[in-house]
Homo-oligomer: A and B are copies of this chain.
Amino acid sequence: MPGTLASLGEAAALSRIFPRLPSATAQLLGPGDDAAVIAAPDGRYVVTTDMMIHGPDFRLAWSTPHDLGWKAAASNLADVAAMGAVPTALVVAIAAPSDSAIELLEGIADGLREACEAMAPGCGVVGGDLSVSPTLTIAVTAFGDLQGRAPVLRSGASVGDTVAVSGPLGEAAAALRILFEQAVDGSGAPDARLAAALRHLTAAQLAPTPPIAAGPLAAAAGATAMLDLSDGLAIDSARLAQASGVTIDFDSASLGSDPVLALAGGEDHSLLATFPPGAALPPGFRRLGTCLAGAGITVDGVPCQCDSGWDPYRGWNGAAG
């Protein structure tokens, strides 16, 4: 088939992708040699990696190629931001079926570029790898610059600290519920036409826009602990509480109209941070509660069951399409 990866070959496919990729201001040497060279002005760099797999992480009937590139960038940028670092560069490995159209890779490249432009200007793709696989797979490794600051760990919260968040709570999960309930055909299989009609309700899941710039802002404002909300507020705040040796007590009034969704919903990639008592919260953060003595998480002082959340080895029903 003309226009498939198999008919084009790797060199031609790369020549179609490269012009679409964002360039990185920290890049000293870019794609085309055995490796790239990136600047690390303060003598350190932040690194995180995250893989997206067709099936457990996305469905091609629901996500456009642009969505895939955007979300792969967003989820990795959020991990860099959660350390208080400014994202500087990505490397991207893509494995696709050999009968895929070149437009799949072009769309992913466009999504990577527009996500970087929107959420992390100056961050770009400095290298990558193309492979063939029956299962479409996108592996991104992201880098960041701490700008001389200490990284903001999960373990730094103290009793009395204010707990705050930047970004939505539960919106990605609500959008996923809409897709599973309304963007499937009679047999329950993902349906592209129905998904397209629901697009205005599902962007928070398919192409999330986490507040990347809020990470370095929080670090500069003295955040004592921070992480990105990938598995949901309940699970992730319990991780921060455990690492820091505190209880996190949420005010139910701060959790919106559906506190259960706000606590259980994953994939928002919002930034949860703690700040010293009385500190002014940086722009974009809103107060959710307080760190207390003890362990675990509570809502208005009542212990919260946190057994929901996403486990990649348990959570995926392969029969679901």
Contact pick for A34, options B40, B131, B227, CB 8 Å: B227
In the assembled complex, A49 has its CB within 8 A of some CB on chain B: yes
Assembly CA distance A201 to B37 (angstroms): 37
- Which of A15-23, A59-67, A77-85 binds B? A77-85
Q: Does B135 contact A83, Cβ atoms closer than 8 Å?
A: no
Q: Does A131 contact B44, Cβ atoms closer than 8 Å?
A: no
Q: Does B33 contact A37, Cβ atoms closer than 8 Å?
A: no
Q: Does B53 contact A95, Cβ atoms closer than 8 Å?
A: yes
Residue of B nearest to A144 (CB): B35
In the assembled complex, A228 has its CB within 8 A of some CB on chain B: yes
In the assembled complex, A121 has its CB within 8 A of some CB on chain B: no
Question: Which B residues lie within 8 Å of A131 (CB)?
Answer: 51, 53, 56-57, 312
- Which of A6-14, A106-114, A289-297 binds B? A6-14
Known: A53-B131, A55-B134, A137-B137. A313 touches B6 (CB 8 A): yes
Q: Does A37 contact B45, Cβ atoms closer than 8 Å?
A: yes
Assembly CA distance A91 to B146 (angstroms): 19
CB of A245 to closest CB in B, whole Å: 15
Q: Does B48 contact A313, Cβ atoms closer than 8 Å?
A: no
Q: Does B93 contact A151, Cβ atoms closer than 8 Å?
A: no
Contact pick for A153, options B33, B135, B141, B227, CB 8 Å: B33
In the assembled complex, A36 has its CB within 8 A of some CB on chain B: yes
Known: A53-B131, A134-B318. A35 touches B313 (CB 8 A): no
Assembly CA distance A34 to B6 (angstroms): 37
In the assembled complex, A86 has its CB within 8 A of some CB on chain B: no
Q: Does B135 contact A311, Cβ atoms closer than 8 Å?
A: no
In the assembled complex, A39 has its CB within 8 A of some CB on chain B: yes
CB of A320 to closest CB in B, whole Å: 13
Q: Does B91 contact A47, Cβ atoms closer than 8 Å?
A: yes
Assembly CA distance A38 to B55 (angstroms): 33
A-B CB contact pairs (8 Å), 20 listed = A8-B313, A10-B314, A34-B79, A34-B82, A34-B227, A35-B79, A35-B80, A37-B47, A38-B47, A40-B43, A47-B126, A49-B93, A49-B127, A50-B93, A51-B131, A51-B137, A93-B139, A133-B137, A134-B135, A141-B141
10 closest A-B pairs by CB: A40-B40, A35-B48, A139-B139, A34-B82, A141-B141, A135-B135, A5-B313, A34-B79, A51-B93, A49-B91
